[in-house]
Amino acid sequence: MKNVPFNRRAFLKSAVASSAAAVSVGLPQSAQAQQKAAAPPTPSAGYAFLNPDEAAFIEAVVDHMVPADELSPKGSDMGINTFIDRALAGGWGKGDRLYMQGPWKQGVPSQGYQLPLTPAELYRAGIASANAYCVKTYSKPFDKMPETQRQEFLVAWSTGKVNFENGPPARVFFTMLYQNVIEGMFSDPLYGGNQNKAGWKMIGFPGVIAVNQQNIEKYRDKKFPANPLGIADMS
């Protein structure tokens, strides 16, 4: 079965137990054609949740963590800041799927997240605390600091060496922020990040299209030529 080209008819015969399966394989080729013709989508400008200081902080963080090079554009050009803003403005940021009844206690680390804050509230308090720490330590808010100081602060913050006075636990906020940066880089572009599928292109993840019954043998130990497609490309 080596190097057999994808046989769409055989696939349809074998896979169609429902109309859904037929729909799923009917789309890829037309979607690929469409994608070639369409201009790359751009992240919509503006912020729905972050205020100007917060936006400057987040832009500086995502550009420091994801700098531009031959592998990808910088974080804000990939829309990671937009992803974070939209996530905080939406249901997740407002604490849906989060149990928010007291009493509130810190507990032990094995008990997980125990703050009386939604993600949006944690960001609001956390960014203010991080900037206050930076002003105190470096005499500038994070977005005004040079690269070396940004790096020094982020390393200290990520390794538990930073405490926020009268603020939320620094480590808990860092963990959430880092996870959101990753999500903004690698989630579907539908959510504002990973624009032009730059995160997926960087690693060779093909995105939505995944009809691999033949490919798993055809590309055994060979690099798959991924031309990533997102949900919008197929809708």
| Token pair in block for residue 142 | 């994070």
* The only residue of 42, 51, 139, 212 in contact with other proteins, by rule CB under 8 A: 212
* The only residue of 4, 7, 8, 23 in contact with other proteins, by rule CB under 8 A: 23
Is the CB of 13 or the CB of 136 nearer to other proteins? 13
Minimum distance of other proteins from residue 54's CB (angstroms): 19
Q: Output the CA angle 48-54-59, nearest 5 degrees.
A: 90
First vs last C-alpha separation in the chain: 33
The mark string for 164-203 relative to other proteins (x by CB under 8 A, - otherwise) is: --------------x--xxx--xxx-xx-------xx-xx
Does the protein bind other proteins through residue 71 (CB under 8 A)?
yes
Minimum distance of other proteins from residue 89's CB (angstroms): 15
Q: Which residues contact 11 (CB under 8 A, 6 or more apart)?
A: 25, 211, 213, 214
Reference 204, options 71, 75, 89; nearest CA is 71
Minimum distance of other proteins from residue 84's CB (angstroms): 12
**How far apart (Å, rounded) are the C-alpha atoms in residues 46 and 85?**
9
| Token pair in block for residue 172 | 């808990």
Does the protein bind other proteins through residue 92 (CB under 8 A)?
yes
Size of the site for other proteins (CB under 8 A): 78
| Residue 137: other Cβ atoms inside 10 A | 14
Residue located via tokens 């937009």:
82
Is the CB of 106 or the CB of 166 nearer to other proteins? 106
Does the protein bind other proteins through residue 33 (CB under 8 A)?
no
